[in-house]
């Protein structure tokens, strides 16, 4: 059977790379995107290829609409299609709202939220023609509940949830599903500065999340959940209930 093609933005490390590997395990050829030089992502590409599929790397800034357009066109030329899009790339630039600079605000909105518009805008053109597709957007529990010190990030992640629900309605008739995941505290470079001992008492499962905890849910939404669209799954070990 012809393999599906999955694009994971920010797929060079952390949650994105775990999603890429999980999708590869399920038999997808995988395109990862990031900002690093190609030489620095060889290990990531090899880990994906080790699952017996093809792996490709496209270096571009997801906050750049034109770059997204050019690169998605090249991906289609190379792979013929994109069946699955995981909008995962993200950054934080935290600070209390009263001290937050316009630059901190717009950097985080651009990379976390505008990127989802930029990449999805171009990918859905091809999905619509194919009349099939699945998009999984990586939000955060702070997009649902807010978090002091993360006005920019929580606004971007809340925006992703609104966009997810709207796109699920706009694209449903074209057989394109759009869902989101909202992770809690997951062990990656992004959360390396956190004091786990202070946080874990508030988590029902008494541990931080692993990247694979998120990746398995992303894979489920992307490939298995045929009648699920417009949903947001919180992956936080019970932190928020």
SS3 151: helix
Cα(84)–Cα(30) distance, rounded to whole angstroms?
Answer: 9
Question: Taking the complex as a whole, how short is the minimal distance between the CB of residue 61 and ligand NAD, in angstroms?
Answer: 4
Cα(178)–Cα(39) distance, rounded to whole angstroms?
Answer: 33
Q: Which is nearer to ligand NAD, 2 or 37 (CB)?
A: 37
Tokens representing 52 are 């017996």
Q: Which is nearer to ligand NAD, 190 or 225 (CB)?
A: 190
Catalytic annotation, residues: 153
Cross-sheet strand order for the sheet of 55-59: 55-59, 29-34, 5-8, 84-87, 133-138, 176-183, 232-235
Q: Which is nearer to ligand NAD, 16 or 133 (CB)?
A: 16
Q: Which is nearer to ligand NAD, 173 or 189 (CB)?
A: 189
What sign does the dihedral 60-178-221-202 (CA atoms) show?
Answer: positive
Question: Taking the complex as a whole, how short is the minimal distance between the CB of residue 230 and ligand NAD, in angstroms?
Answer: 19
Tokens representing 240 are 């928020």
SS3 87: strand
Question: Taking the complex as a whole, how short is the minimal distance between the CB of residue 34 and ligand NAD, in angstroms?
Answer: 4
What is the bridge-based pairing of β-strands 5-8 and 29-34?
A: parallel
Cα(73)–Cα(236) distance, rounded to whole angstroms?
Answer: 36
Question: Taking the complex as a whole, how short is the minimal distance between the CB of residue 89 and ligand NAD, in angstroms?
Answer: 4
Asked if 116 contacts 157 with a C-beta cutoff of 8 angstroms, the reply is no
Tokens representing 94 are 């935290």
Which residues are at the interface with ligand NAD (CB under 6 A)? 9-10, 12-16, 33-35, 61-63, 88-91, 111, 138, 140, 183, 185-186, 188-191
Cα(223)–Cα(231) distance, rounded to whole angstroms?
Answer: 15
Give the H/E segment covering residue 159.
Answer: helix 151-171
Q: Which is nearer to ligand NAD, 125 or 145 (CB)?
A: 145
Question: Taking the complex as a whole, how short is the minimal distance between the CB of residue 124 and ligand NAD, in angstroms?
Answer: 19
């Amino acid at each position: 059977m012809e393999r599906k093609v999955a694009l994971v933005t920010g797929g060079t490390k952390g949650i994105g790379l775990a999603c890429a590997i999980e999708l590869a395990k399920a038999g997808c050829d995988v395109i990862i995107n990031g900002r690093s030089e190609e030489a620095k992502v060889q290990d990531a590409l090899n880990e994906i290829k080790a699952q017996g599929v093809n792996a490709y790397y496209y270096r571009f800034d997801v906050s750049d609409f034109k770059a997204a357009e050019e690169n998605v066109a090249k991906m289609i030329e190379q792979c013929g299609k994109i069946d699955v899009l995981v909008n995962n790339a993200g950054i934080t630039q935290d600070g209390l709202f009263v001290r937050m600079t316009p630059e901190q605000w717009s950097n985080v909105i651009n990379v976390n939220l505008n990127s989802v518009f930029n990449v999805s805008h171009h990918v859905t053109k091809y999905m619509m023609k194919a009349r099939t597709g699945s998009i999984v957007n990586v939000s955060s529990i702070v997009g649902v509940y807010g978090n002091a010190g993360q006005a920019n990030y929580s606004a971007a992640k809340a925006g992703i949830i609104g966009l997810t629900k709207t796109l699920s309605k706009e694209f449903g008739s074209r057989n394109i599903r759009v869902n989101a995941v909202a992770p809690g505290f997951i062990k990656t470079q992004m959360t390396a500065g956190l004091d786990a001992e202070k946080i874990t008492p508030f988590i029902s499962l008494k541990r931080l999340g692993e990247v694979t905890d998120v990746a398995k849910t992303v894979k489920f939404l992307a490939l298995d959940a045929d009648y699920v669209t417009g949903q947001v799954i919180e992956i936080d070990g019970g932190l928020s209930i």
